[in-house]
Structure 1
Amino acid sequence: MAAVTLPTHYRNVFAELGYAQAEIDARIENTFHTIFYGDEAHRFYHPTGPGLAYIEDTGNHDVRTEGMSYGMMLCVQTDHKAEFDALWSWVMHYMYMQDGPNAGYFAWSCQPDGTPNANGPAPDGEEYFAMALFFAAGRWGCGSGIYDYAAMARRILHSCLHKGEKPGTGRPMWDPENHLIKFITECDFTDPSYHLPHFYTLFSLWADEADRPFWAQAARASRAFLHKACHPVTGLCAEYSLYDGTPHNRSDRDQRHDLYYSDAYRTIANMALDYAWFGADPWQAENAERLQKFFCETLCGRTNGIWEIDGTPLPGEALHPVAITATNAQASLAAGGPNAEVCVRRFWNTPLRDGPRRYYDNCLYFFALLALSGRYRIWPL
């Protein structure tokens, strides 16, 4: 395996553009307070008793592994251990599956009272849980039981790769041959926004030793896959893709998923963070510039539409326009040129979203805020 060099400096793009550090810090603190402790119209973190809390998907009125793992990542990056532990305790109490073929995974959706809505996992939750737990171990140290963060992260990743090796034990979350993450364990296609090569690079250092070569290869495979999944002119990708990068639309769903739509917005933000941390793929910077050019020059700043990945507009409006603004700005960790500054300033002037769809937008908003201020960091073991 090639040696991995961890970053020693994290760009503060806001400061580079002249924003005062006190103003940046206040924006981060206010955003955390609004999401976690604001009034009922704005927060979506909900304590449910001593040492337990959940993040609500306010658009669907449920609790998802996506949101719980996002909340944990936001907490470890902002040094809020009590909230991190409360979320993780809720996850282990209500979402962790101990029986059946999916034992060792997490039910991807539950009701706010903890009743499962599903008996299967969503791989983006597992990969974020593992990374947040490793960072917690690096930042705060490990406790015992479920608070032995590093041991729990390794347990999750072991399940992700080794399920199905014995009959009746479910299926793995990564394809063992092509090293690409699946959309769900039962399928043979993927979601480009699930591909987190920067996480896999760290898993190759900290996961079970026997699995580290797999994670190193997974990082390389995901970077190569994203070249195929993103359009060569617009930089856009679909929500779902075949392993060769072709946009994929599930035939069993009414809603199309071969478009640039909700899940897909995260992809450029993920690539930009990978570029900022490791700089392993110069193409990521080029793709970020293509995407920003599409939104800034072709669309003149419009972020409320639906598009084919070649940029063809379609009827309807985006469910999460603030998420587009946020991820376009986070792309500036990789992109250069005039559109990078335009996207960051547009994001800075955008408030948190109100209303029932605020959960997804505001999670991506907070991630972009941390990334662009140099506060989305690796916390090494």
Structure 2
Amino acid sequence: MKKTIYIIIGVSVLVVLTVLFFVFSGSRLFKSSAWESGKHINFFVKFGIADEEEVRAKVQSTYQQLFFGNEMTQRLFYETADGDGFISSIDSRDIRSEGMSYGMIIAVMMDDKDTFDKLWTFAKNRMQHQDGEKKGYFAWQLRNEAPYVMLDPYSAPDGEEYFVMALLFAGKRWGNGSGIYDYETEANDILHAMVHKEPSRTISPMIDPEHKQIVFSPNPPAAGFTDPSYHLPAFYELWVRWAKEDNELWNEVARVSRDYFTLAAHPETGLFTEYASFDGKPYKVSFNSSSHLSAFDSFRVIQNIAVDHLWFATDERAVEAVNKLLGFYAAQPTIVAVYSHDGKPKVNYGSPALVAMNAVGATISTEDFAKRFVEELWAQPTPAGRWRYYNGLLHMLGLLHVSGEFKIYGNPELRE
């Protein structure tokens, strides 16, 4: 009798401990981070939505449509008469450092060196300042027709961040060439400019020296606040490991960004605003009526939080942040693109880009509704038509992350 009781007690304790493990380990249901394990999970397969072959086919067909599809209605990538190429923002008829750097990092993940080099050649020769106080920085906006004149010489630092990461991944995956194709040297040169730019009344570093945060733009006064979606702790972690200098700084910037996600999230909704002060408060500006709202830039924050956790799993607050934000969206009768910080809808339309980013967030969620967000991305058609630039690029990034095809090239543990 006593033996039976001891067995029952032992089994009960084991069950309780198992439950507690899964509760407190949160997203560590994936057992170890991508950096530790070298494994990137295919969540479409994990959730039972599709098999490996179907996922590979969808990723490939989406890339083919967005980069090489119909010139009028589908593609974003265009070649110039000189043989280089660019990503076009169709609706605004311009070329942006954001889109160029996204295009490059997508090309690395798709193992398309030819397209990568065409994009990098264009960005290096036509967008990057080669002299003057802006040397090393990229103009964020060019006209999308020859001769591709600069519309705004100032920078949007998310472009620089993605240029750096794309170049480092390219060097790790394909090896470095010479000249501008010495990818890792080019990446380190950009990092140096971002940190060590001599400040003046008209220019500043991209990392605020006091707050250790990425700035909205390195031209005062736009350097006095930030954009939460520019905070990329997963990238900073890799720069701690791979950059030629300032490694301790990047470690601190990563830590500050993780803390910042807690500061900038609304305590009830979990939403982020497009722009925010360095202490996380919504920041209103005259040139963007949505700056103090949760809108288009804000879509990307959940991706940044989730990717950091998938890759490094250093901060369990990431799971709580994603659960709260997706919980807000799951409770909405219809998910729209723009909300006030406290969750009041401001428009009556949704966004494919938001669908894609929420699916990335769902990869670390511990809630039952997580699968719904991954299913919505799987069911979403590849964006086409006038609004395909932002929607299409984030749709592609979402597919790469959720399918496990956005990999840490250069990780010695990587299993391809």
**Map 1:190-209 → 2, pairs under 5 A:** 190-209=226-245
User: What does 1:174-185 align with in structure 2 at a 5 Å threshold?
Assistant: 174-185=207-218
Contact map agreement 1:160 1:173 (CA 8 A) in 2: yes
Which of 44, 67, 74 is residue 36 of structure 1 equivalent to? Answer: 67
Aligned match of 2:267 in 232, 257, 280? Answer: 232
The alignment partner of 1:117 has SS state of: strand
Displacement of 1:306 after TM fit? 2.0
Aligned to 2:127: 95
The superposition leaves residues 71-123 of structure 1 with CA deviations (integer Å, 9 ceiling, x where unpaired) of 00000011000000000000011101123211111111011222111111110
Cross-structure match for 2:311: 277
Taking a change above 3 Å as real, the CA distance of residues 120 and 311 of structure 1, as seen in their structure-2 partners, is: same
Could you say which residue in structure 2 is the equivalent of 1:123? Answer: 157
Matching residue within 349, 366, 379 for 1:336: 366
Counterpart of 2:380? 350
Determine helix, strand or coil for the equivalent of 1:155.
Answer: helix
Kindly report which structure 2 residues correspond to 1:240-255, keeping only aligned pairs within 5 A, or say none: 240-250=275-285, 252-253=286-287, 255=289
Q: In structure 2, what residue type is equivalent to 1:275?
A: H
1:148-168 C-alpha deviation (Å, 9 max, x unpaired): 000000000000000016x68
User: What's the counterpart of residue 215 of structure 1?
Assistant: 250
Alignment of 1:1-381 (within 5 A): 6-18=36-48, 19-40=50-71, 41-112=73-144, 113=146, 114-164=148-198, 170-185=203-218, 186=220, 187-209=223-245, 211-250=246-285, 252-253=286-287, 255-296=289-330, 298-300=331-333, 302-314=334-346, 316-318=347-349, 321-380=351-410
What is the distance in 2 between the residues matched to 1:125 and 1:21? 32
Q: Output one character per residue of 1:127-166: Cα deviation in whole Å (capped at 9) or x when no partner.
A: 100000000000000000100000000000000000016x
Which residues of structure 1 form unaligned runs of 5+? none
How far does the alpha carbon of each residue in 1:294-352 deviate from its partner, in whole angstroms, 9 at most, with x for none?
Answer: 111x213x2334211211222x345x610111111110121122111011011111112
Cα distance in 2 between the residues matched to 1:7 and 1:313:
41
TM-superposed CA distance for 1:50, in Å, is 4.9
Map Cα deviations across residues 186-243 of structure 1 (whole Å, 9 max, x no partner). Answer: 221000000000000111111123x111101000011111111111222210000001
Take 1:323 and 1:236, find their aligned partners in 2: how far apart are those partners?
A: 16
Residue deviations 1:265-310 (CA, integer Å, cap 9, x gap): 00001111111000111111111111111111x213x233421121
Task: Name the aligned partner's letter for residue 57 of structure 1.
Answer: S
Amino acid paired to 2:328: F
Shift of residue 169 of structure 1?
9.0
Structure 2 distance, partners of 1:6, 1:127, is 23
Contact 1:57 1:64 in 2 (8 A): yes
Q: In the alignment, is the contact (CA less than 8 A) between 1:158 and 1:208 conserved in 2?
A: no
Whole-angstrom distance in 2 between the partners of 1:289 and 1:168: 42
User: Which one-letter code corresponds to 1:235 in the other structure?
Assistant: G
For the residues of structure 2 that align with 1:243 and 1:272, how far apart are their CA atoms?
21
**Alpha-carbon contact 2:353-2:390 (below 8 Å) kept:** yes
> Shift in Å at residue 355 of structure 1?
2.0
Whole-angstrom CA distance in 2 between matches of 1:168 and 1:239 = 25
Query: In structure 2, how many angstroms separate the alpha carbons of the residues matched to 1:244 and 1:169?
Result: 24
Aligned mates of 1:170, 1:191 — CA distance in 2: 18
TM-score, normalised to structure 2, is 0.86
1:303–1:325 Cα contact (<8 Å) kept: no
Report the CA distance shift for 1:326/1:254 in structure 2 as closer, same or farther (over 3 A).
Answer: closer
Indicate how the Cα distance of structure 1 residues 253 and 94 shifts in structure 2: closer, same or farther if over 3 A, else same.
same
Report the CA distance between 1:256 and its aligned residue: 3.0
Contact 1:189 1:242 (C-alpha < 8 Å) held by counterparts: yes
Moved more, 112-121 or 4-13: 4-13
The offset of 1:354, in angstroms, is 2.2
Identity of counterpart residues, as a percentage? 38
CA distance in structure 2 between the partners assigned to 1:273 and 1:229 by the alignment: 18
Q: 1:254 to 1:126 in 2, by over 3 A?
A: closer
Q: Which has the larger radius of gyration?
A: 2
2: distance between equivalents of 1:98 and 1:312? 45
Displacement over 6 Å in runs of 4+: none
Contact residue 289 and residue 339 of structure 1 kept, 8 A: no
Is the contact made by 2:35 and 2:408 (CA closer than 8 Å) also made in structure 1? no
3-state SS of paired residue (1:312): coil
Please provide the CA RMSD for this pair: 1.6
- Which shows bigger deviation, 322-331 or 50-59? 50-59
The more displaced of 346-355 and 79-88 is 346-355
Q: Is the 8 A contact 1:239 1:261 kept in 2?
A: yes
The letter of the residue matching 1:177 is E
2:396 partner letter: F
Q: Is the 8 A contact 2:35 2:311 kept in 1?
A: no
CA contact (8 A) 1:51 1:85 kept: no
AA partner of residue 199 (structure 1): F
Q: Which residue of 1 aligns with 2:4?
A: none
C-alpha distance after superposition, 1:46-67 (max 9, x if no partner): 0113540000011211000000
Residues in 2 aligned to 1:5 and 1:369: alpha-carbon distance in whole angstroms: 20
Deviation at 1:6, TM superposition (A): 4.6
